[in-house]
Structure 1
Amino acid sequence: MTLTTGAILRRITEANLSASCHKLATIILDGIAWKDGYNGLTRGTAAFTLAHLAEKMGVSRQHLTALLAELADSSLALVRWKPNGKYAPWLFRFGEVEGDRSEDVASATGDTSLSEDSKHKTIFSGRIEIGGQTNIYRTPWADLIRHAKSSLPCWNVDIQAIWDRFIAFNMARGNTAVPAGFLLGFMRRWRTSPVAAPGPTETRRTQCEPDPVEQKLQRLIQAAPSKNREFHASELGRRIGQASYEARVFAMVRKFGCLRFAATLAVHGQAVIAGEITR
């Protein structure tokens, strides 16, 4: 039997639950993905933080925990787990109901139309040109990242920051174009992908031993104009050409392993030192 929204909704109405639990179950049902890959989830799962659920329910976190326990012990057999780290959302799934059920639990074909519509699936298809558009909002990937990250370790990271790190990651490896699926994989491995793990002989620097690379970056940033960053970016872009300006920014990202914002300030500071722009 293929479960659908209607089938689970009938299970919720038939279950012996408190009114609050009925509401909570309906909220979780509303977030379930019915196609693999939709919002970065596997079929039949939903993703929420407990804070978000408590806010939608209008209850305290303690009361929410009690309601989730009631759903877990009920015939709905709600299960939840957190595979993507401490700060990632919880994943939820309604379990199978024991015993035989009437045939009307399986929804008719018309009930599954929304689930079968491909426009409801988050699809990372095609290829991404590395070094092309730097503004994520001018690409077709912004909405896909926004939807997919909700259940991934980068759920609370700005989508422009995700895009900048992805581009920097591939440029550092000499990639000019990659399959779009690489972007989803990069987001799933967010904690380990952007920064290489230290080798066995590497040790952490103490406060008495500052990182010279970090110090150099900070000196460039301090030399940058502190106001009107957009104006200075336009001025430098007109002076050296927009393509050269973007190349400098990406060179800074590769050199220091920083985000685009810091790299931009470093480029501006370098231009001030070289006399190309003034503070």
Structure 2
Amino acid sequence: MELTTGAILRRITETPLSTAAHKLATIILDRIAWKDGYNGLERGTAAFTLAHLAEKMDVSRQHLTALLAELAASGLALVRWKPNGKFAPWLFRFGGQEEADAPADVVSASGDTSLSRDSKNKTIFAGRIEIGAGTNVYRTPWAELINAAKASLACWNVDTQVIWERFLAFNQTRGNAAVPAGFLLGFMRKWRRPASSLTSDLKVERQTGSIDHDPVMVLALPAPIQNRHFHQSDLERLIGRHGYEKRVQDMQSRFKTNRFAACLAVHGTAVSVGEILA
């Protein structure tokens, strides 16, 4: 199947499907990205959560699952996968191969008037971002772009203002006064930890009671263990190797704990006060 709006739409109309499945296919088609990087997606893919699709279709999740199975088994060969974790959106693609002679940057046929051709449906990170330009993202041109791009990324459920503030903080700690706009998309793609995961971890720990009587664990909680090497590098760049070692030793002395736990507590404290990012 040639990956253009017109080609897929013609295939949808020619494929024997239920009325609801036809509607679902056109909803997915309307959100497909036609160039790599638009909306943070690869060319030919669309991103939705199942809850969002069910709401747009006004059907139950069970009915939606049946419709997706119908599209997958049909000539449209719809496939879906979830590369960014349990709570991230699903990515969708209609099956078939692009024609060998189709140009790499094809958007659609010249006679196709679908809204998918309009630039307003695309996300392009161009220009430069002034790091000291202000803290309210909604007073900048970047809020709409962040909202569009995060839909398919690991930070899909993080508030746009939070993403913006962490991006500014990330660059400020590195002394960057201005960066290419593409750095913002790259920062979002490498999002280390969704904001909701910290809350989930805290709830689990509180339920087990494992941190209530351990002040070191309380201090360490904002900094996940899997990122500890990043946190150490970030802190050493900020306060120097000697300053980092002094903090760890002070933490060990204060709580009579081992070096590993002391390092995590130092990292967690730094995240809590905004010196480094989680």
Deviation at 1:82, TM superposition (A): 0.7
Deviation at 1:97, TM superposition (A): 7.6
Kindly provide the amino acid, as one letter, of the partner of residue 209 in structure 1.
Answer: D
Show the counterpart of 1:209.
Answer: 214
CA distance in 2, matches of 1:154, 1:210: 30
SS of aligned partner of 1:257: helix
Is the contact made by 2:123 and 2:145 (CA closer than 8 Å) also made in structure 1?
A: yes
* CA deviation vs aligned residue, 1:131-154 (integer Å, no higher than 9, x gap): 321110111111110111111111
Is the contact made by 2:157 and 2:194 (CA closer than 8 Å) also made in structure 1?
A: no
1:154-165 matches, cutoff 5 A: 154-165=155-166
1:109-188 matches, cutoff 5 A: 109-111=110-112, 118-188=119-189
In the superposition, the TM-score normalised over structure 2's length comes to: 0.65
Q: Which moved more, 1:5-14 or 1:89-98?
A: 89-98
Is the contact made by 1:165 and 1:259 (CA closer than 8 Å) also made in structure 2?
A: no
Show the counterpart of 1:50.
Answer: 50
CA distance in 1, matches of 2:158, 2:271: 17
Structure 2's unaligned 5+ residue stretches are 99-107, 196-204, 221-268
Change (3 A) 1:186 1:110: same
Show the counterpart of 2:198.
Answer: none
Show the counterpart of 1:59.
Answer: 59
* CA deviation vs aligned residue, 1:154-212 (integer Å, no higher than 9, x gap): 11111101101111122222222222111111111112599xxxxxxxxx994322249
CA distance in 2, matches of 1:179, 1:46: 26
CA distance in 1, matches of 2:190, 2:28: 26
Deviation at 1:112, TM superposition (A): 6.5
Deviation at 1:113, TM superposition (A): 8.1
Change (3 A) 1:113 1:59: closer
Show the counterpart of 1:14.
Answer: 14
Show the counterpart of 1:95.
Answer: 95
Larger radius of gyration: 1
- Percent identity (aligned): 74
Is the contact made by 2:80 and 2:93 (CA closer than 8 Å) also made in structure 1?
A: yes
Kindly provide the amino acid, as one letter, of the partner of residue 215 in structure 2.
Answer: P
SS of aligned partner of 1:109: coil
CA distance in 1, matches of 2:188, 2:152: 10
SS of aligned partner of 2:111: helix
Kindly provide the amino acid, as one letter, of the partner of residue 212 in structure 2.
Answer: Q
Kindly provide the amino acid, as one letter, of the partner of residue 19 in structure 1.
Answer: T
Is the contact made by 2:31 and 2:46 (CA closer than 8 Å) also made in structure 1?
A: yes
Change (3 A) 1:50 1:120: closer
Change (3 A) 1:34 1:48: same
When the two chains are superposed, the root-mean-square deviation of aligned CA atoms in Å is 3.3
* CA deviation vs aligned residue, 1:104-142 (integer Å, no higher than 9, x gap): xxx742216865554543111222222321110111111
Deviation at 1:35, TM superposition (A): 2.4
SS of aligned partner of 1:178: strand
Kindly provide the amino acid, as one letter, of the partner of residue 157 in structure 1.
Answer: V
SS of aligned partner of 2:80: strand
CA distance in 2, matches of 1:259, 1:73: 52
In the superposition, the TM-score normalised over structure 1's length comes to: 0.65
Kindly provide the amino acid, as one letter, of the partner of residue 210 in structure 1.
Answer: P
Is the contact made by 2:30 and 2:115 (CA closer than 8 Å) also made in structure 1?
A: no
Structure 1's unaligned 5+ residue stretches are 99-106, 195-203, 216-254, 261-279
Kindly provide the amino acid, as one letter, of the partner of residue 191 in structure 1.
Answer: R
Kindly provide the amino acid, as one letter, of the partner of residue 52 in structure 2.
Answer: H
Change (3 A) 1:172 1:108: closer
Show the counterpart of 1:72.
Answer: 72
Show the counterpart of 1:26.
Answer: 26
SS of aligned partner of 1:153: coil
CA distance in 1, matches of 2:115, 2:56: 24
Change (3 A) 1:174 1:73: same
CA distance in 2, matches of 1:38, 1:94: 17
Count the aligned residue pairs: 207
Kindly provide the amino acid, as one letter, of the partner of residue 153 in structure 1.
Answer: A
